[in-house]
Amino acid sequence: MKKKNLITLGLIILIVAIVGVALTRLQLGPGARLAFLNPFAPTPTIQSAWITQGDEFFQQGQMEAAFNAYSAAIKAGEELAKAHAGRGNIYTQWRRFREAEQDYSAALNIQRDPVVLANRCVVNRLLAKFDIALQDCQEAIQLDPEYIDAYVALSVLHLERGQADLAKETIETGLQIKSDNPNLHYALGQIEISQGRTEAGIAALDEAIRLDPNQPQFYWDRGFAYYSLAKLAEASQDMQMVIEKGNPDRDGELIYRAGSLLASLQGALNP
């Protein structure tokens, strides 16, 4: 009997040693090791590799690769709120707004997030669902009163609904929170130009470009404003900047339009 007990004890010691070596070789963190030994311990949060890849591809402008990564995360059931939100961003870039709205809604059904709400506000506006868009933007600001893009999205919504004064008021509120945000100055430029105050709009776009000189959309809007004032040389320079700063995967349509306008401008400048 004693011999049997010794054998059992020896097996237990051997198993513990093997587990310890395995854990060391796996280089697991303390939380993961605890979960390995205790199945009822909380599992540590580790971001899905698919989400990480999707975010990296998106930042690089590789939309197809980002789309595939987010879709793989959704298929695997990993980080679904982030995966749906990420894929919604891709659909928005591709101007597939109905699919974007569906993905944003799927993400929001899991977690209410101001960024996703502001993004859904944008696509709902583009789908002419103005009342729903308004609710999304307002909720985004309620959740995070300092999330600037929500103010930008809300101001554009007001502008599209013919409420220019309310749009400008929204931007001014945002500028009180963060005066050096380029998107706020860009939105202000759009508002001023829409109201016929083109010079004031160009001044706002100048500030947006000063704060972030790598956004091709900023140059496009300023260049088109110059074009409307018959300042063809300035417009031509801005169209060149759109082509230089743009990413073909992300800004293909904008680059094409800038190239077409640039050809026309150069023809006028060099008859």
- Find all residues with CB under 8 Å of 137, minimum gap 6, and list them: 117, 118, 121, 150, 153, 154, 157
What pLDDT score does 251 carry? 87
Q: For 56-111, CATH number?
A: 1.25.40
End-to-end CA distance of the chain: 108
DSSP annotation string for 220-266: HHHHHHHHHTT-HHHHHHHHHHHHHH--HHHHHHHHHHHHHHHHHHH
Give the mean model confidence (pLDDT) for residues 34-56. 57
Tell me the pLDDT band of 61, cut-offs 50, 70 and 90. Answer: confident
Quick one: pLDDT at residue 47? 62
pLDDT recorded at residue 220: 97
pLDDT for res 53:
93
Cα separations in angstroms, 251 against 59, 110, 153, 245, 260: 13, 31, 20, 9, 14
pTM of the model: 0.74
Distance between CA 133 and CA 113 in Å, rounded?
Answer: 15
- pLDDT at residue 142, rounded to an integer: 97
Check whether 191 has a pLDDT greater than 60: yes
Percent of the chain having pLDDT more than 70? 83
Question: Are 128 and 102 spatial neighbours (Cβ–Cβ below 8 Å)?
Answer: no
State the pLDDT confidence band at 42, using cuts at 50, 70 and 90.
very low
Q: Looking at the predicted structure, is the pLDDT value of residue 15 above 70?
A: no
- The answer to whether 189 touches 221, Cβ cutoff 8 Å, is yes
The stretch 223-244 carries a mean pLDDT of: 96
pLDDT at residue 32 is higher than 50: no
| Residue 113 confidence (pLDDT) | 97
Indicate the class that CATH gives domain 114-212.
mainly alpha
Average pLDDT of the chain to the nearest whole number: 85
Task: Give the pLDDT confidence of 62-91 residue by residue, as tens digits.
Answer: 999 999 999 999 999 989 999 999 999 999
Q: Give the CA diameter of the chain.
A: 108
Lowest-confidence pick of 2-16, 177-191, 256-270: 2-16
What's the CA gap between 85 and 87, in Å, rounded?
A: 6
Identify which of 145, 136, 144, 131 has the alpha carbon closest to the alpha carbon of residue 100.
Answer: 136
Using alpha carbons only, how large is the chain's radius of gyration in Å?
26
User: In the structure encoding, which two tokens stand for residue 140, read together?
Assistant: 């985004």
Complete DSSP assignment for 5-59: HHHHHHHHHHHHHHHHHHHHHHT--HHHHHHHH-TTSPPPP---HHHHHHHHHHH
**How high is the pLDDT of residue 128?**
95
The span from the CA of 19 to the CA of 6, in Å, is 20
Q: At what angle do helices 30-37 and 2-26 cross, to 10 degrees?
A: 150
Asked if pLDDT for residue 241 goes beyond 80, the answer is yes
- pLDDT classification of 48: cutoffs 50, 70, 90: confident
pLDDT at 166: 96
Q: By the 8 A CB rule, do 152 and 183 touch? A: yes
Distance of CA 180 to the CA centre of its chain: 19
CA 262 from centre of chain: 29
CA dihedral sign, ordered 172, 185, 257, 236: positive
- pLDDT, tens digit (0-9, with 9 covering 90-100), for 86-139: 999 999 999 999 999 999 999 999 999 999 999 999 999 999 999 999 999 999
Determine which of 39-53, 152-166, 226-240 has the lowest per-residue pLDDT on average: 39-53
Q: Are 137 and 157 in contact (CB under 8 A)?
A: yes
